[in-house]
């Protein structure tokens, strides 16, 4: 089911189906980033400039992370930002001999790297997801 939101950003108006977004990045300063689907266009919603849009997205994020039957949404802290991603929409994972799990978000060329020491809970959830989804064990 589509969740359409009209957003004003950089003098343009966008109508975006939030259900098509696969990752959101929430910054501690009251800012949310996400890439438009199938593009490299980064949308940045700032609480101070667009409070209505900001709260609409926060409400949506609470809904999908707490009540979603579709998708495997994972919420975790990484480099002082909160990432909310749908693991179902990631296309690859890398497991290194040092026990690091890496993956790439659409639109971002630098991988996110999760270690058991830094975030045991997120690490375990990702490994569990990979095994359930692919039947492959990485450990």
Reading phi first (left if > 0) and then psi (alpha if -120 to 50, else beta), residue 99 is in: left
Q: Tens digits of per-residue pLDDT, 44-65? A: 999 999 999 999 999 999 988 8
How far is residue 40's CA from residue 79's CA, in Å, rounded to a whole number? 22
Residue 96, classified by CB atoms within 10 Å of its CB into exposed (0-12), middle (13-18) or buried (19+), is exposed
Contacts of 60 (CB under 8 A, 6+ apart): 3, 5, 18
| pTM listed for this prediction | 0.88
**What pLDDT score does 71 carry?**
62
What are the residue ranges in the chain where pLDDT is below 50? none
**What pLDDT score does 136 carry?**
84
**What pLDDT score does 109 carry?**
84
CATH of segment(s) 4-134? 2.40.50
Q: How far apart are the first and last CA of the chain?
A: 36
């Amino acid at each position: 089911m589509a969740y359409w939101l009209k957003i004003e950003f950089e003098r343009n108006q966008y109508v975006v189906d939030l259900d098509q977004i696969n990752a959101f990045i929430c910054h501690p300063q009251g800012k949310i980033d996400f890439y438009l689907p199938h593009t490299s266009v980064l949308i940045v919603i700032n609480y101070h400039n667009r409070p209505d849009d900001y709260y609409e997205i926060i409400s949506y994020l609470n809904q999908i992370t707490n009540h979603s039957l579709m998708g495997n949404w994972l919420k975790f802290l990484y480099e002082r930002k909160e990432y909310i991603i749908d693991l179902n929409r990631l296309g690859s994972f890398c497991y290194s001999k040092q026990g690091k799990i890496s993956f790439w978000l659409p639109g971002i060329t630098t991988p996110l790297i999760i270690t058991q020491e830094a975030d045991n809970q997120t690490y375990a959830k990702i490994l569990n997801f990979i095994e359930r989804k692919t039947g492959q064990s990485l450990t």
